Structure 1
């Protein structure tokens, strides 16, 4: 029972029954009020017509108190009629229809009524409806005409109507709720099927998809959205698997090298110089591990949103120039040169620390993966910073064989290295620098893209909203 109460089907049926009950209650009350109003209105019209007829009969005599036999017969035919004349502020009955003596006591005998009115008073056999109208005889004597009719018939009709409404409304609600429960079950049956199929999909089966129904309704859109979500989960799981495998591979290399060097040294006694050489090699591997760990930590903190990015004015051209000077000496040793092109100050709102890291990573990657030139530094890596169309643009180009077209879209993924891209002279990379650069650009509301140049090499373009 508890499970049934918490189902959408039950809640829909309950809400449907509540709404229907409210509607039927309002409709029943309105129907009862309208029927009651129309019955009383019809009854009042008959009383007014009778009073008009009484006035016509009385107008044939100068002194109404002296009624002729003809007048009395006509008044007797009309119904319950009671006539008063005013005497010293009180009323005196001078005519009463046959059978109306029991209602005389319920009528106000005062004769000073100024205008016609309806009233309802209790009578010996139930409620009475009275229409009272003042009149003045041809002799000038004031009086009152009272036409009285019992409301017993109307009361009985309304009582029957109340019973019918009270019996039919609950029955209609029960039947409608049962029908609504059945219809809700039919409507939600596809949802149960989707739930059952989705429950069978496990982490190892993310390639499966739910069958999309032919009807392009809410259920169809739900299934399509669910399939899209599974596709995103599959892509995330695959990326996580690749990330884990690549991280394990990158960490395994330095660890294996360190372990091998230590085992060789410990295999037999060595001189001090040999120990220093091995320890220096181990130190280099430790630096590699630390660099990988720091990069992974940056990406992990970025994924969790725990890195705060400041929004302060930063001269992007100054950052690029300073880093170009830092890289110049190392680039010249490898037969490369660096050139900075910037004609004006380029300011954007950002975090100088992370923008510095962005330019560093892009320059480091450009120098590593460029062809060496001659001793005069003919292989040139260029850094261009400019403002164009309301954006700050940074572009770094390097000479070289370029990147396979199918790899361009994956350059900024973690641990990704294209098959055709190899660092020069053993320069090593971990495949994390461009991933960090991509995050920095995204955190600053910018875009980053790579393309192969027609003259050879690769150009990485970054755009930011200008300050």
Structure 2
């Protein structure tokens, strides 16, 4: 069932059915209430007659006959008749009233009996009751009241109820039709946009939606997701293009060296020299492919985060980097608290720290100091965070390049060693931990300071 049809069914048809059912039940209850009022009136009149039938010595009689307002209240008073022990009518009201021809008092009970009958002029409500005389003889009392007024009131109720149902139904149908059309259009816009996304079209956001309800929030989320998907695909395309370019250079150098070696006969020394050049290019390809695999594995696999100590991971990374630092004559100095507990992925964080330390050592002059610190801080949103700072005395990073250096394969110069993927991995690790990484000026006159910030978790 389409959304518009479902909205019409559950927004108009079902409420109309419930409204009809409610009014029908209310009508039945109203009918019972009116009938109960008639019964109470008949019972009240029967009670009056029962206590006064024998208050005259002459003969039993109906007090309805003695009413001075008989002509004024006749339309509102019941008909009545009194029957003797033999079942003959001995009194009636009014004198021309149509009454049962006979009534056997012995068949009646002292408990009044009520029933509804269909007469020539409409429906009547009848009451039968036995009244014992002073001598113990049973007499029969019959009272009847027309239900014409009751039926008129019920007919009026039904006409009003039908008009209310029709009016409410038309209004509800019109409102729901407009609402369903508008809601269906909004959902259709999102559905069409999702089909375009499935087909790979990421250039356009979903149509604008000014409503601030759940569908509006969904549209906003889809729009943001579309932007991120477009950026991710652009980044992926750029990564593939950059990877192809980076792979082409060592492959071309390797192919050229092999071609030169095969062009004419070479001595063993010349062949060895060619193989050594080829080995350098193979090592370069190996390092590049390893970095690509690390980046792909990091982006493809979910981070298994758990509670741990950042200080322990930082010390392990520094211990692993000390050999390379000592080889270049650099000193690594650490400032950190005893413990820094939070939730993180140890392997991914260790890889990011290794890359930052490797960069710092690689670009630091000999016999200089690399300072590493870990301290509590606050994020721009005011949330508690842990901040790693790795500062060196190298050439530093120009201000205009401090964002692009975290892009894959970006290097400050063609002569810069490495594949240009280390900092891209660091940024991925930071973002997947809901943190961030950036470069700022070192406290010294030269060098760069890389800052990695991760949120604290209570």
Return the TM-score normalized by structure 2.
0.74
Matching residue of 2:4: 9
In the superposition, relative to structure 1, how do residues 446 and 205 fare at CA in structure 2: closer, same or farther (>3 Å)? Answer: closer
Indicate the residue corresponding to 1:461 in structure 2. Answer: 451
Paired residues for 1:42-191 under 5 Å: 42-48=37-43, 50-51=45-46, 54=49, 58=53, 60-62=55-57, 64-65=59-60, 79-83=78-82, 95=90, 97=92, 98-101=97-100, 104=103, 109-113=107-111, 119-120=114-115, 129-131=125-127, 145-149=141-145, 151=147, 154=150, 158=154, 173=169, 177=173, 180-181=176-177, 184-185=180-181, 188=184
Matched position secondary structure for 1:384 = strand
**CA positional deviation for 1:260:** 1.0
What secondary structure sits across from 1:429 in the alignment?
A: coil
Cα pair 1:366 1:381 within 8 Å, conserved: yes
- Please report how far the alpha carbon of residue 413 of structure 1 lies from its aligned counterpart in structure 2 after TM superposition: 3.0
Task: Find the aligned partners of 1:39 and 1:368 in 2 and give their Cα distance.
Answer: 99
Matches within 5 A, 1:9-408: 9-48=4-43, 50-51=45-46, 54=49, 58=53, 60-62=55-57, 64-65=59-60, 79-83=78-82, 95=90, 97=92, 98-101=97-100, 104=103, 109-113=107-111, 119-120=114-115, 129-131=125-127, 145-149=141-145, 151=147, 154=150, 158=154, 173=169, 177=173, 180-181=176-177, 184-185=180-181, 188=184, 208=204, 212=208, 227-306=223-302, 308=304, 315-332=312-329, 337-342=330-335, 345-346=338-339, 348=341, 353-370=347-364, 372=365, 377=367, 379-385=368-374, 393-408=387-402
Q: Deviation digits for residues 257-313 of structure 1, max 9, x if unmatched?
A: 111111111111112222222222222222222222222222223222356456555
Equivalent residue pairs, number: 439
Say if 1:220 and 1:345 are closer, same or farther in 2 by CA, change over 3 A.
closer
Greater Cα shift, 152-161 or 337-346 = 152-161
The two structures have a TM-score, normalised by structure 1, of 0.73
Shift of 1:135: 6.1
Write the deviation string for residues 138-165 of structure 1: whole angstroms up to 9, x where unpaired.
7887866442235477568757976996
CA contact (8 A) 1:355 1:440 kept: yes
SS at match of 1:414: coil
Secondary structure of the residue aligned to 2:402 is helix
- More deviation in 294-303 or 440-449? 440-449
- On the 8 A contact 1:321/1:340 being kept in 2, the answer is no
Distance 1:210 1:217 in 2: 15
Q: Name the CA shift for 1:67/1:34 in 2 (closer, same or farther; >3 Å).
A: closer
Say if 2:49 and 2:63, in contact at 8 Å, map to a contact too.
no
The corresponding residue for 1:448 is: 437
Task: Give RMSD over aligned pairs.
Answer: 4.7
Separation in 2, partners of 1:301, 1:180:
52
Q: 1:412 aligns with which of 398, 406, 412?
A: 406
Deviation track 1:222-281 (CA, whole Å, cap 9, x = no partner) reads 765554444333322322222122111111111111111111111111122222222222
Separation in 2 of the partners of 1:185 and 1:59? 77
CA–CA separation in structure 2 for the residues paired with 1:186 and 1:433: 51
Residues in 2 aligned to 1:305 and 1:149: alpha-carbon distance in whole angstroms: 88
- Separation in 1 of the partners of 2:186 and 2:346? 54
Report deviation, 1:361.
0.9
Structure 1 counterpart of 2:381: none
1:8-57 per-residue CA deviation (whole Å, 9 max, x = no partner) reads: 32222222232232233233214422441353244335424543663586
5+ residue gaps, structure 1, are none
Unmatched segments (≥5 aa) in structure 2? 379-383
